[in-house]
Amino acid sequence: MKVLKIIGIIILILLALFLGLIIFGPSSGHLERQITINATPGMVYSEVSNLKTFNKWSPWFQVDPDTEYVWEGPSSGVGSKMIWYSENSDLGNGYMEITEVRNEEFVLMDMGFDQNSNRDFTDEGEEKPTASFILEGSGESTKVTWAFDISGVSGMEKMMVVGLDMFLGPSYEEGLENLKARIEGAPTFSVKMAVQDVNPFTFAGKEVSSANNMTDISNNMGAAYSDIMEAIVSNNLQMTEGYPMAIATDYSEESISMICGIPVAEGSTIDSGDVTIMQSPDGRAIRALHFGDYSLLEETHDQINLYAEYFGYELTGNPWEIYVTDPSVEPDTSKWITEVYYPTN
């Protein structure tokens, strides 16, 4: 009887503690882990702001290989969203959506979890937990803080807040180690690249085709620009700030087709045969800066394709080049600057 009495007292104490936790326990919680990565803040930011590559270092990706993933919005930045559906109770259904960024410094994500497995994340009355990345650069290294915050917790869910460090801490540590290994093992990019929004501009353009060798390409492009300039002058068009450009429309080992263009004022009209008024591409694009002779541009295009593959960007249209330097003014080819763009989602 004495033993039963002791057991009963212990049960009452545990029940009191449990009820006290539900009533008086914390309604919010914060967890963070840190790691230093031997890479610039820009490199780290490109990774953590891109949900398309999250599963390449996620500590949860291997938990259920059958998980269904859906991505919405842009590949990276505000509005990028990853949704997952899993029958594994450790994952369930949920989503992450980037809601705020500060370039090379900060990324904030809202998170939602579907406890009822009905794929519904629309409860507007529920406070959403958030995950964030804080990047602090020092030379060629970056201190990364990965944090999780939750508030508005009530009832039995307060047990999760109390045990947040135990439940989530090891996964965050594993994820940061994976992130470090991925970034420090990344390909070496020889040119500076970034994803940015591109505004369209009006240009007078002409379609040309050429054999795929530098001599023929140079000759055909030169003739095209000469025809375009003649059309601009004869039609009294106003040229605008900008540089000659070329959009590749078809490419093979043997030949290349492109549209050569020179920027002109919006609303321009023209009546010059095969020279017409066009609009440049707009939207998101990977932009690379190429320094040097045009004969070396192929390496920059290869670098962009490698960059897109590594970061999970889908290339969605024809690339184009903008020739910032006029070779007739600057004879030193090492000083030539060319902007190369590849449209992406």
Secondary structure (DSSP) of 225-243: HHHHHHHHHHTTPPB-S--
Distance between CA 280 and CA 319 in Å, rounded? Answer: 11
d(CA 48, CA 58): 11
Distance CA 337, CA 192 (A): 12
**Tokens in use for 220?**
């055909």
Give the CA angle between residues 51, 183, 302 to the nearest 5°. Answer: 85
Report which of 103, 115, 112, 297 is spatially closest to residue 218, judged by C-alpha positions: 297
What single letter denotes the amino acid at residue 88? N
Between CA 299 and CA 311 the distance in angstroms is: 18
Tokens of 8: 């009963």
Query: Are the CB atoms for 79 and 97 separated by under 8 Å?
Result: yes
pLDDT of residue 272: 73
For position 11, what pLDDT does the model report?
A: 54
> Are the beta carbons of 297 and 287 closer than 8 angstroms?
no
Q: How far apart are CA 331 and CA 280, in angstroms?
A: 28
- Half-sphere exposure for 286 (CA within 13 Å, toward CB): 30
pLDDT on residue 1: 53
Is 201 within 8 Å of 245 (Cβ atoms)?
A: no
Pairwise CA distance, residues 146 & 40, whole Å: 17
Helix (H) or strand (E) holding 107: strand 106-114
d(CA 335, CA 257): 27
Crossing angle (nearest 10°) for helices 41-48 and 164-184: 120
> Sheet harboring 283-291: ordered strands across?
192-198, 283-291, 337-343, 320-323, 245-251, 255-263, 202-211, 276-279
Which residues contact residue 243 at a Cβ distance below 8 angstroms, ignoring those fewer than 6 apart? 263, 322, 323, 324
Tokens coding 152 = 């508005």
Divide the 345 residues of the chain into consecutive groups of 10 and give the mean pLDDT of each group.
53 44 59 95 92 94 93 90 91 94 95 67 64 93 94 57 76 97 92 91 96 92 95 94 95 94 94 90 94 94 94 92 95 96 92
Domains and CATH numbers, the chain: 25-184 (3.30.530.20), 193-343 (3.20.80.10)
At 66 the pLDDT is: 92
